Structure 1
Amino acid sequence: MTADPVAASADWLRAVRRGGTGREHETALRDWPRGDLRAALDTDDARLALWTNVYNAAAQSVLAASPEAYSEGRSAFFGAPIVTVAGRDLSLDDVEHGLLRRSHPKWTLGYVANPVAGAYERAFRVRERDPRVHFALNCGAAACPPVAAYTRDGIDAELDAATASYLDTEVEYDAEGDVARVPRLMLWFRGDFGGRDGILAMLREFDAIPAGASPRLRYRAYDWSLDAGNWG
């Protein structure tokens, strides 16, 4: 068993992809001493990689075992504790909005942080939000990006690749109408991206719109139909 929780999370995800449970890796993460976890998560790269892998592995595990859980109500699916890391039971919402988005509740569009986040969340959340993570998380919806395993040393390039691929697929630029149709994720988490200016800067950076363009933004509908097992 690896001594690195980030590697353990990637191994769990890869095991699920192969049709297994990855139970030994899930158990290792459950029992990881908190002091050791804190020492291992010494950079935001490590934190991003760990929590992205944990989110995707937990979601895909539940969908593989009980796909009906997805159709029984999104509030329950996202809000029920389904994974334990270092003794703390976590829901998908806990992982995404508490740990990966630095305690920004999902209903605030990314502009307002939770002022009363708990001690565990404060200890293990990212230090700075990275909007690219929205193009790495997969809850099983058809509009979600493909699932991939992320590494502490390679996550910057890996998130760039995931972002470029997702935007290439999901952004439609109409030069004549001066409109860009963009993923709804950019509306739901507008503050994470830095508002309209930040969204446009990202679209230019990843060649989704021309370098000098500043189009109006239209947000595409999100396809919530179940599409589990969308592996990259």
Structure 2
Amino acid sequence: MSSSVVVFTTPGCPYCKRAKQALSEQKVPYQEVDVSVNTELRAALKEATGERTVPQVYAKGTLVGGSDALLAKIADGSFTQLLSQASSSQAALPNMLSKAVQAADAAAAATSAAAPAAGTSLPEALQQVLSALSDPQSGVQRQPGSSSKPPSFTGKALLDWLVQHNSSSSSRSAAAAQAQQLLSANAITLVSDKQPSADEVAAVFDDEAHSYALRSEAVRAVPWGAALNTHFWWGPAAARPAEVVAEELRGRILALYDKHLSADGRAVSYAALKQDLEFWEYVDATAELQRVDLSPLSRESLMAFAINLYNALVIHALVVHGPQQYNSTTGRVGFFQKASKYNIGGYDYVLDDLENGILRGNSPAASTIGMLLKLPWLSKGPFKAGDPRAQHVVRPLDPRIHFALVCGAKSCPPIKLYSAATLEEGLSAAADTFCASDVEVDAAAKKVRLSKIFSWYFPDFGADKAARLRFLLPHLPADKQASLQQLLAADPAAKGISVEHKPYDWTINAAE
């Protein structure tokens, strides 16, 4: 390690941001290690610290702890004392952790080299053709666009231009082959009011009936209620496996979220995010979802896919439509049920569809009459009979998904990017972190205070009050667990245990 201080973090974690800001204010150089990707590294960190949460800070081989511990030790001077008293040659990490970091770095390099690429890359020669084609003066002549339509050109006009201006496609057949390559790389896209069939994007049609546009000129602003990833139609290139696409998108949006998170970790500038070119690269990447196939996904892969996309879509919609849409009950209904939408495999999914349709096994939403009356059988899930989306739902549901879809804890679980391989670890950590922060047990008063989530989705956590309280036990820290066990031992049916649900804070952490 090149620095005497190491901070173990995960992207998009406000408490990690706070710890790093505190070190910067003290002018203490540090090395950051992202634990979100590597399972072995997280296991080594948990073994060394006894904690599943991040950040975890080490200085001169000594564990400082999380964000709160670091701030306290800076305030009382013990952190400065630790740095000054330790030997200058003292390693930042214990040997076991240092080796785990080195192994994780090597694994990350190998994984990056082997990762499949999306259908958006072009050979250098074709990139030059595209650059010439795009030139406003000498490129292919476009028909003017509008606020909802990009400038466009016909298939015939494209092939005419390629024949006339490109020596490598002087014949009509060669021009058609080049046009096909541009279409396959999504450098040009078919202009259509509805999603085209595979046959319609199989090749560039040499006629006046089919219009095309440069992807770089796509109109990215989508109307309220339209799928946010349909600003252009994905071409003939096959999409990568669904879980790979979702993991990449979630990784991109997490990095952007982290980039625009304030130094104290308390607010995100969604306005700055909207001006970031990397955000619009993310938006372009979401178009691949139009062609993904959910059929091969296992239950675990489908869960990871839906969790990753749900969390990415929330941020995407907040950036595009603005956080002010979220500030009222009516606005939130529209946000979850209409505005936040992706086209996935040719079908529209709003946030409610991802949560209640896929992840909750097509169960009724919390806002339905049955759930509000605590009679869930009176209502149905979002996917009606005959809906093709009903073929891809998670059964049985895992109630821990609710903690993966919302982070309201005082520290962050180390996984914000899910895969089938890390699902159990991630859900367990998310549940532990959430419950440790949000569950209050008053043994003397025989009272348990819970998040409103446990009321909204009450059937997910157990058939009755006692079962729902027992669900909490493995996810509570030792002191709260002992108190709740004591209450349940004395009252197994929980008839005398009062359960109170705390008001839910819908505040968005927007800087604007």
Q: Give the TM-score normalised by structure 1.
A: 0.85
Q: 1:104-146, CA deviations, whole angstroms, 9 ceiling, x for partnerless residues?
A: 11233383362734433321111211110111114xx968x96
1:31 aligns with 2:303: no
Q: State the partner residue of 2:241.
A: 4
Distance 2:385 2:403 in 1: 25
Identify the residue that residue 80 of structure 1 maps to in structure 2. Answer: 338
**TM-superposed deviation, 1:64:** 2.5
Contact 2:249 2:285 in 1 (8 A): yes
CA distance in 2, matches of 1:212, 1:117: 46
Name the SS for the 1:18 alignment partner: helix
Residue 196 of structure 1: aligned partner: 465
Measure the CA separation in 1 of the matches of 2:408 and 2:300: 27
Where does residue 104 of structure 1 map in the other structure? 363
Do residues 17 (structure 1) and 254 (structure 2) align?
Answer: yes
Q: 1:160 aligns with which of 421, 428, 440?
A: 428
- Which of 67, 70, 82 matches 2:323? 67
Q: 1:152 to 1:25 in 2, by over 3 A?
A: farther
SS at structure 1 position matched to 2:311:
helix
Task: Provide runs of 4+ in structure 1 moved above 6 Å.
Answer: none
Mapped pair 1:209 → 2:486: no
> Kindly tell me: are residues 228 and 103 of structure 1, through their superposed partners in 2, closer, same or farther at Cα, counting changes over 3 Å?
farther
Rounded Cα–Cα distance in structure 1 between residues aligned with 2:286 and 2:487: 46
- Structure 2: unaligned runs, 5 residues or longer: 1-116, 119-239, 257-277, 489-496
Change (3 A) 1:86 1:164: same
- More deviation, 96-105/185-194: 96-105
> In 2 relative to 1, CA 183–132 (structure 1 residues): closer, same or farther, beyond 3 Å?
same
Amino acid at match of 2:356: H
Question: Which residue number in structure 2 is paired with residue 89 of structure 1?
Answer: 348
Contact 1:12 / 1:23 at 8 angstroms: preserved in 2?
Answer: no
Q: CA deviation at 1:171?
A: 0.7
The answer on 1:180 being equivalent to 2:180 is no
C-alpha spacing 1:190/1:75, structure 2 compared with 1 (3 Å): same
| Kept in 1: contact 2:302–2:394 (CA 8 A) | yes
The equivalent position to 2:417 in structure 1, one of 149, 152, 166, is: 149
Query: Residue 64 of structure 2 aligns with which residue?
Result: none
Amino acid aligned to 1:69: Q
- Give 3-state SS (helix, strand or coil) of 1:48's partner: helix
Q: After TM superposition, give the deviation of residue 54 of structure 1 in Å.
A: 0.9
Please identify, of 202-211 and 57-66, the stretch whose mean Cα deviation from structure 2 is larger: 202-211
- Check 1:184–1:191 CA distance in 2 against 1; reply closer, same or farther (3 A cut): same
What SS does the aligned partner of 2:333 have?
Answer: helix
Distance 1:63 1:49 in 2: 22
**TM-score, with normalisation over the residues of structure 2?**
0.40
Task: Name the CA shift for 1:18/1:190 in 2 (closer, same or farther; >3 Å).
Answer: same
**For the Cα contact (< 8 Å) 1:64–1:228, is it kept in 2?**
no
The count of residues paired between Structure 1 and Structure 2 equals 222
Whole-Å separation in 1 of the counterparts to 2:389 and 2:467 = 26
Rounded to whole Å, the distance in 2 between the matches of 1:46 and 1:142 is 25
The Cα shift of 1:204 comes to 1.1
Partner of 2:502: 220
Give distance in 1, aligned partners of 2:243 and 2:313: 14
State the alpha-carbon separation in 1 of the partners of residues 466 and 425 from structure 2.
23
Which structure's CA Rg is the greater one? 2
Q: CA RMSD in A?
A: 2.6
Matched residue SS, 1:64: helix
Amino acid of the structure 1 residue aligned with 2:466: D
Take 1:59 and 1:167, find their aligned partners in 2: how far apart are those partners?
23
Check conservation: 2:301, 2:419, Cα contact below 8 A: yes
User: Residues of 1 paired with 2:245 and 2:487: CA distance?
Assistant: 43
- Sequence identity percentage: 26
Unaligned runs of 5+ in 1: none
